[in-house]
A and B are shown apart, each in its own frame.
Chain A
């Protein structure tokens, strides 16, 4: 099932333009949405989930239009949504909360609904604590309840907004694996600013910045853009690469520091002749893309001692 957005615009209070004419096609499978804070990712997802209305533009989810009340209701029937700011009723148990959300999602048959709730509690490993009130749950447990409620109606479109924010590494890996398993026949839109989450699960992605889509396509294309511009160099402690180089990572190895940077070959050749070209990762591709969006902040200044 494909999601097509055309000229999607959202302006808050007549002044703040959160989305500016977004054109995006989201195919079946796992689709990543990357971008810095304030790029418009959450606004886009809220509009797709029917929580917000666009100021302008069209939304097509499969055969349904998201611009009509009827279309929105049909989309919601096949939608699973895990918002960034996940909220729950603290005085309900996990089982009660899932049962309530299931009712609101149209699972009217009591027996089938209860069975589904039990299945999902089992999937997210919360069966043993299902009778405990949600206010006693840790952040990771709440996130698992969150993904369970998103899957109640076996959705064709799953929207997850920053699902691994605040989770410990084990929880993050578990979550990623769960999402990857769900990819299959569904359309899963994963929004995050943790590049690794997308690198591990998505083959297609879009990058947003300041309300616009600045890249969409296969992950490999984003990597290809950065080929030839990613370098590894080693310096003595205190000598930080300067000029117009963008530091992606820094590893302190005692008296020596290893940098991973993106920059023009000519500049690197002058600033760090010992730098070695390396194969770009997704993070490098993202950094290179964002760098290309910005104006250069400083003229070429050489290594800073």
Chain B
């Protein structure tokens, strides 16, 4: 058991290192974020208009929650696309034979791969989030706010964004085992637009359910964000704290379940080869 935990932790560490070293990781997030800010940060949607207005209506930690929701609405697109190639890479680099011949279980390696690669891909997203927090704090002039800001901001991110990120990460690691990785990337971007960004009430999608990966229910239910403070989301939903917690639990449980399913599928494929 100790050996398998070591294998899991070793895989987490080295998958993190390999993903963090990819120049494409940083370039993709930088370009996407720059484009996003260019497109959205205009007129009445400009951050220097929206943030002071929010600070008048809500508490600081609620503004942090709004920002976490905002970041998690767009940036997971990059996350999903950048994680999709991690599993096929083992076969492409022909490392998979060595990995299969090692006594460490495949399950331990897969969980390590998912956690490590996702954590590395999360760093640029966290940097964007942190940049936004600093910008928000520049409008909140009380020194006491600044002291409390770091733990509050981290908590908001952990509650609202992290479960969805792990959910997206798990699916992006697992699905390319079944379909061609570039096809998954294409479908993922398409789904994210349809399921998350296109909030038309007449077309059912996950954005109104507890499985919403952007953390809508945890933002509305746990942080009490109302319609006007929800980052201009046109979705008219209210959530209870219980629904917020349920959403977090479901997203995390599904993320874990997907990796178990991936392990099962890869075992079956190995036996039937």
Contacts and interface: CB of A to CB of B under 8 A. Distances in A.
A106 B7 CA distance: 7
A52 B97 CA distance: 9
Main secondary structure on B side of the interface with A: helix
A51 B100 contact: yes
B127 interface: no
B99 interface: yes
B103 A76 contact: yes
A149 B98 contact: yes
A132 interface: no
Given A89-B95, A104-B104, A106-B103, A53 B18 contact: no
Contacts, number: 83
Given A76-B102, A104-B109, A51 B97 contact: yes
B18 A92 contact: yes
Contact of B99 (A92, A96, A104, A106): A104
Interface in A175-213: none
A104 B17 CA distance: 16
B102 A88 contact: no
B10 A100 contact: yes
A96 B99 CA distance: 15
A125 interface: no
B6 interface: yes
B271 interface: yes
B227 interface: no
A101 B99 CA distance: 8
Nearest to A88: B95
A166 interface: no
Interface in B99-121: 99-104, 109
A76 B93 contact: no
Interface string A120-138: 0000000000000000000
Q: A interface, by DSSP: helix, strand, loop or mixed?
A: loop
A227 to B, nearest CB: 40
Nearest to A72: B103
A170 interface: no
A91 B98 contact: no
B221 to A, nearest CB: 41
User: Could you say which interface size class chain B belongs to?
Assistant: 20 to 34
Most B CB atoms within 10 A — which of A50, A79, A89, A100? A100
Interface in B57-106: 93-104
B138 interface: no
A92 B16 CA distance: 11
Contacts of B18: 89, 91-92
A38 interface: no
Given A89-B18, A149-B98, A104 B93 contact: no
B93 A79 contact: no
Nearest to B95: A87
Contact of A87 (B6, B21, B97, B271): B97
A105 B100 CA distance: 11
B38 to A, nearest CB: 32
A90 to B, nearest CB: 7
Nearest to B2: A108
Which of B3, B93, B103, B104 has most A Cβ within 10 Å?
A: B103
Interface of B: 2-3, 6-7, 10-11, 14, 17-18, 21-22, 93-104, 109, 270-271, 273
Pairs of residues from A and B, 5 with the lowest C-beta to C-beta distance, nearest first: A87-B94, A103-B10, A104-B102, A76-B103, A104-B104
Interface of A: 12, 46, 49-53, 73, 76-77, 79, 81, 83, 85-92, 96, 100-101, 103-106, 108, 149
Given A100-B11, A105-B102, 9 more contacts: A49-B101, A50-B100, A81-B98, A83-B101, A92-B18, A101-B102, A103-B10, A103-B11, A106-B103
12 contacts: A12-B273, A49-B97, A83-B101, A87-B96, A92-B14, A100-B10, A104-B102, A104-B104, A105-B102, A106-B104, A108-B3, A149-B98
